[in-house]
Amino acid sequence: MVFGVRRSVRYHARRRRHFDNLNRFTVFFTVILGSATFASLQTNSDYTWLAPWFGATVTIISAFDLVMGHAIRAREHRDFERRWIRLEREIVRAGTYDDGTYSQLCEQRLEIEADEEPPLRVLDILCHNEQALAEGLNDEVYRVSFIQRWLSQWMDWRADRPFQKVNA
């Protein structure tokens, strides 16, 4: 159970970083293009024709960020990450536990999972691999292609095929 909880912490940490980076990216370009819009509107500038294009780009980027809700999604994943860490703390605190404690911990785990969106399977496998390596379980690492790794935050590329263990 601890392995799965730690994998979930890694998963939500990766998702949080991804959405934080997307939010930073959109804010950065909004500021740059907004400044460029202002600079191109100066009366002695030869580039006033660029102002509408810069302004339209700022609008599109801002609308995209608003619709996608990168900052909100990052905050949601941060909250899930904290919930999983709390559950890990309770598991560690319990030490060896009886069936009643195990049932209670499983109930808490299912409660968190019920609130989550369906996980991205390839990203989950990557987090599994990280956790397996961190715990010295080198025989539990699965092969993930470059394209799957590259797209893992966006979509499950060919996740319907069984993953092969690296040492198999």
Where residue 43 falls among pLDDT bands split at 50, 70, 90?
Answer: low
Query: Could you tell me the CA-to-CA distances from 73 to 116, 136, 145, 149 in Å, in that order?
Result: 12, 32, 27, 21
Where residue 168 falls among pLDDT bands split at 50, 70, 90?
Answer: low
Where residue 41 falls among pLDDT bands split at 50, 70, 90?
Answer: confident
| Structure confidence at residue 167 (pLDDT) | 76
pTM: 0.85
Rounded to whole angstroms, the Cα distance separating 119 from 162 reads: 16
With vertex at residue 129, the alpha carbon angle to CA 126 and CA 131, rounded to the nearest 5 degrees, is: 110
Where residue 162 falls among pLDDT bands split at 50, 70, 90?
Answer: confident
Q: 127 near 7, Cβ under 8 Å?
A: yes
Rounded to whole angstroms, the Cα distance separating 80 from 65 reads: 21
Q: What is the pLDDT of residues 14-36, one digit of tens each?
A: 999 999 999 999 999 999 998 88
Q: 19 near 70, Cβ under 8 Å?
A: yes
Rounded to whole angstroms, the Cα distance separating 7 from 84 reads: 9
Q: DSSP assignment, residue 160?
A: T
Q: What is the pLDDT of residues 87-134, one digit of tens each?
A: 999 999 988 888 899 999 999 999 999 999 999 999 999 999 999 999
Partnered with residue 165 across adjacent β-strands are 142
| Structure confidence at residue 42 (pLDDT) | 77
